[in-house]
Amino acid sequence: MQRVFSGIQPSGIPTLGNYLGAIRNWIKLQDDHDCIWCVVDLHAITVWQDPAALRQQSLEMAAVLLACGVDPAKHILFLQSGVRAHAQLAWIFNCVARLGWLNRMTQFKDKAGKDRENASSGLYVYPNLMAADIHAYHATRVPVGDDQRQHLELANDIAQKFNHDYGVEFFPNIEPVILGPAARVMSLRDGTKKMSKSDPSDQSRINLNDDADTIALKIRRAKTDPMPLPSEVDGLADRPEARNLVGIYAALTDTDHASVLKEHGGQGFGPFKNALTDLLVEKLAPITAETSRLLSDQGALIDLLRSGAERAAAIADPIVSEAERLVGFVGLRRG
Ligand code: TYM
C-alpha cells in the first residue's frame, strides 16, 4: 500500500478552503492507503504565534481533523513537534536545498511581503521542513490544495539532489494529489485572492466552527457580480467570484462546475446563495458539534496524539538515522 503524508498548520481555525482543498481528500484516501496526518506546529511558528493560542489551536486542529473523519485507529494523527525526526531531517535538507531554489518560492514572497528583511529565517526554509515531513516517512503521495504545488516540486528536487550527491536511491519521488473543483477556494471578498486562515478579514472566509447564522451572513455578503449565473462553464471566465461559489457548491455535492450550472444556470445569485448556505450548514454543523465534543476531553485528545507521535516516530526514526549515516555522521544515538 502506498504511504500518504499531509500536514496542516494550527495557525487559526481551519477554513472551508482547507476542508474542500485538502481535508476532504485526505479522508477519501484513507480507504486504500497508509496515511500519516500531521498538525504542523513547527511550521506555524515561522510567523509569530502567541504560545497559549498555539497550544489551543493545535488541539483544536487535531479535533477538527478527527471530526472530519480522520481515523486514528487505522492511520496516524499527531503533532509535528512530537516527533524529533522532522527537525533533524530538515537540518540536513537545509544543507541540500540551494538558496536559488528557495528564492523562487512564491509563498515566501507572499508571506514575507514588503518587509522581507524582517521575516524569520524559519519562514525562508519552511519548504525544506515540509520536504523533511514527507521524506522522513518515505511517503509517495501527498494530498494538498493547489497552493502547495511548488513546495512539492521543491521536495522532489531536494530528494533528487540528496540521492545524487550521496550516490543512493534513498528518497522516493512524491506525487502531489490535487483534486476536485475546489483545489483553490478563493476569498469571499475578492475572487482573485486565496481563502486563508490568516486573512485579517473574517468575512473573507468560512471557518469550520462558524454557526448557521454566521455562514448565512457571510454568504449573503459574499462579493458577486450583477449578472445571473451562466449555463455553461465558459461563462465563468473573467467572473472569479461566481466561479468560486459554483466551485464550492460543486465540491460540497461531489460534482463539477458544469453539473452545478446545469441545475442553477440562469438563476440570480439570491436563490443560489440560499441553496449554498443550506448546503454549507448541512455539511459543517456535524463537524462543529463533533469538534466541541472532542475538545471537552483534552486529556483523551492528548493521549491519542501522543500515541500517534509514538507510532510516527517508529517509522521516521530509522529512516532519518539512515539518512544521517549516509551523510557521514558517526551516529552516537544508535549506540
Ligand atoms: P496550510 O495549513 O496552509 O493548509 C492546509 C491544506 O489546506 C490547503 N488549502 C487550500 N486548499 C484550497 N483552497 C484554499 N483556499 C486553501 N487554503 C489552504 C493547503 O493547500 C494544504 O493542503 N505547507 C502546508 C502544510 C504542510 C504540509 C507538509 C502539507 C507542512 N508540511 C507536508 C503537505 C505535506 C500548508 O501551508 O498548510
The per-residue pLDDT for range 243-266, each reduced to its tens digit, is 999 999 999 999 999 999 999 999
Q: Cα separation of 146 and 106, whole Å?
A: 13
> How many of the other CB atoms lie within 10 Å of CB of 220?
12
Span 209-293 CATH architecture: Orthogonal Bundle (1.10)
Confidence of residue 198 (pLDDT cuts 50, 70, 90): confident
Q: Is the pLDDT of residue 294 over 90?
A: yes
CB 23 within 8 A of CB 77: no
Give the up-direction half-sphere exposure of residue 329: CA atoms within 13 A in the CB hemisphere: 15
Indicate whether residue 18 lines ligand 1 (CB < 6 A). Answer: yes
DSSP state of 230: P
The pTM of the full predicted model, rounded to 2 decimals, is 0.96
CB 6 within 8 A of CB 22: yes
Residue of 212, 223, 267 lying closest to 245 (CA atoms): 223
Question: In angstroms, how far is the first alpha carbon of the chain from the final one?
Answer: 32
Residue of 140, 149, 147, 150 lying closest to 175 (CA atoms): 140
Q: Distances in Å between the alpha carbon of 118 and those of 48, 99, 219?
A: 12, 18, 36
Closest ligand 1 atom to Cα of 143: 22
Cα 80 to averaged position of ligand 1 atoms, centre (Å): 14
Q: Cα separation of 7 and 136, whole Å?
A: 13
Indicate whether residue 135 lines ligand 1 (CB < 6 A). Answer: no
Q: What mean pLDDT value characterizes the chain? A: 96
CB 34 within 8 A of CB 270: no
Cα 269 to averaged position of ligand 1 atoms, centre (Å): 29
Q: Where are the alpha helices (DSSP H) in the chain?
A: 16-18, 24-29, 41-44, 51-68, 85-96, 99-103, 106-112, 121-124, 126-135, 149-166, 212-221, 240-252, 257-264, 269-295, 298-327
Indicate whether residue 66 lines ligand 1 (CB < 6 A). Answer: no
Q: Is the pLDDT of residue 123 over 50?
A: yes
Sheet holding 141-143, edge to edge: 76-79, 34-39, 3-8, 141-143, 175-177
Question: Sign of the C-alpha dihedral, residues 315, 317, 321, 323?
Answer: positive
Indicate whether residue 8 lines ligand 1 (CB < 6 A). Answer: yes
Cα 31 to averaged position of ligand 1 atoms, centre (Å): 21
Q: What is the mean pLDDT of residues 126-151?
A: 98
Please list, residue by residue across 152-173, b when 16 or more beta carbons sit within 10 angstroms of its beta carbon and e when fewer do.
Answer: bebbbbbbebbbeeeeeeebbe
> How many of the other CB atoms lie within 10 Å of CB of 219?
23
CA angle 20, 24, 25 (to 5 degrees): 105
Closest ligand 1 atom to Cα of 126: 23
Which grid cell sits at 227? 449578472
Q: What is the mean pLDDT of residues 26-33?
A: 97
pLDDT for res 334: 58
Domain edges within the chain: 3-182+297-327, 209-293
Closest ligand 1 atom to Cα of 15: 17
Span 3-182+297-327 CATH architecture: 3-Layer(aba) Sandwich (3.40)
Indicate whether residue 149 lines ligand 1 (CB < 6 A). Answer: no
Catalytically annotated residues: 111, 194, 197
List all residues 6 or more positions away from 163 whose beta carbon is below 8 Å from its beta carbon.
Answer: 169, 170, 171
The per-residue pLDDT for range 42-60, each reduced to its tens digit, is 999 999 999 999 999 999 9
